[in-house]
Amino acid sequence: MARTVHVIGAGLAGLSAALKLSARGDTVAVHEATVFAGGRCRSYHDAVLGMTIDNGNHLLLSGNRAAMDYVRGIGAEHRLAGPAAAQFSFVDNASRESWTLRLNDGPLPFWIFDAKRRVPGTQVLDYVALARLLLPASGKTVGEVIACEGPLYRRLVQPLLLAALNIDPPQGSAKLARAVIRETLGAGGKACRPLIARDGLGATLIEPALTVLRERGAVVRFEHQLRAISFGADRAAALDFGGDIITLADDDAVILAVPPYAATSILRELAAPTEFRAIVNAHFRIAPPAGQPPILGVLNATTEWLFAFPGRLSVTISAGGRLIDTPREELAKTIWGEVASVTGLPATLPPWQIVRERRATFAATPAQDAKRPGAETQWRNLALAGDWTNTGLPATIEGAIRSGNRAAELLARLP
């Protein structure tokens, strides 16, 4: 009889691990504490807006190779929408200037030499200085490696790193910034095509994964929160779901794919990130104006990225801790004022919703990055997964999926 692998947590890390293991013939049981799968990457029906929305806008890039494999594996690649080439539109809310950054496909950055493709107000030499971020810089912050000022920083590096690291870039880990730049700008336009789940995160990344898992005979149990693990000499021996105890057979295994604060409440000795950053999203039920780009970077505003969906405009604000205590209506009005001004839509506030994820990601500082554990634990049949484990990437979909794949690989190698 096939062994059973218990995957704890049905976020992207847990789902990707479950998919890999079920594909190789393991019996898989996924245990999720809440009533929904997807974790921090989910859709839900919002009663105020009367429509299904995502907890937050999520952007993938065509170079997110593990994420692309994952969507192909669940037959959902047609649900990711984006332009044929790497283009990013920006508007400056202060100067009213707007421009579109157009990267060329290959890894040699010819776009830097073309004033019509690069960031306005920048020179080729500005980009050369940016190359310092491509050098190894363990333990350093971005602010210690590059000058966080000037038009290239304000108009490209700051918005890119703020979105990717979810931290004010000067405080961010230069090592994580390097990984982002290497896998995006450094890999050329082919790796930078922006991709959005047009029909929602649930329909694109989560429900098709659950369907594939169920087709393979995997069980997904909701409202089944792991409370404790009991251990034998070198292995996890039983899982305690609060009254419901599952005893593990000798070759059974476990992947703990929960957020770091949940993992440390179960494994008390585990070192893991302890600081987090918020992400704020504002959703407005209104049809985007004709010609609105799917994603628009907005500078000199509270709004950072404006996403256009059918019947809805949505704004993302990273490192949004400063906005956590702002009254919701005040925030909605401020953000809508900016959106109306950059889109030309009427100033009257449409139906809105604000979603604030307080612990959206671990704080991508060098100190917090140093606390990230690998997938392996001291117990031979227990592996860790999650965007906060040591993936070498910031907390992203790509990192979460790679972590799940890695944990599955580790357990696949068990004798």
Ligand X SMILES: Cc1cc2nc3c(=O)[nH]c(=O)nc-3n(C[C@H](O)[C@H](O)[C@H](O)COP(=O)(O)OP(=O)(O)OC[C@H]3O[C@@H](n4cnc5c(N)ncnc54)[C@H](O)[C@@H]3O)c2cc1C
Query: Rule CB under 6 A: which residues touch ligand X?
Result: 8-14, 31-34, 39-41, 55-56, 58-59, 225-226, 257-259, 262, 279, 281, 357, 360-361, 386-387, 395-398, 400
Q: How far is the CB of 241 from ligand X (least distance, A)?
A: 8
**Which CB sits closer to ligand X, 361 or 377?**
361
Q: How far is the CB of 357 from ligand X (least distance, A)?
A: 4
Cα separation, 275 vs 241, in Å, equals: 27
The residues, ordered by sequence, that sit 6+ positions from 399 with a Cβ below 8 Å of its Cβ are 387, 391, 392, 393
**Which CB sits closer to ligand X, 156 or 257?**
257
Q: How far is the CB of 176 from ligand X (least distance, A)?
A: 13
Residue keyed to tokens 């959005």? 196
Cα separation, 272 vs 223, in Å, equals: 25
- 301 and 96 Cβ atoms separated by less than 8 Å: no
Q: What is the DSSP string of 14-64?
A: HHHHHHHHHHTT-EEEEE-SSSSS-TTS-EEEETTTTEEEESS--EEETT-
Q: How far is the CB of 320 from ligand X (least distance, A)?
A: 9
Q: How far is the CB of 87 from ligand X (least distance, A)?
A: 17
Q: How far is the CB of 167 from ligand X (least distance, A)?
A: 13
**Which CB sits closer to ligand X, 126 or 168?**
168
Q: How far is the CB of 36 from ligand X (least distance, A)?
A: 8
Please give the structure tokens belonging to residue 132: 């310092």
**Which CB sits closer to ligand X, 186 or 273?**
273
Cα separation, 197 vs 346, in Å, equals: 27
Which residues is 306 bridged to in the sheet? 296, 315
CA 338 and chain centroid, separation: 25
**Which CB sits closer to ligand X, 122 or 184?**
184
Q: Which residue, 323, 271, 276, 274, is CA-closest to 40?
A: 276
Cα separation, 38 vs 105, in Å, equals: 32
**Which CB sits closer to ligand X, 23 or 33?**
33
β-pairing, 194-197 vs 59-61, is antiparallel
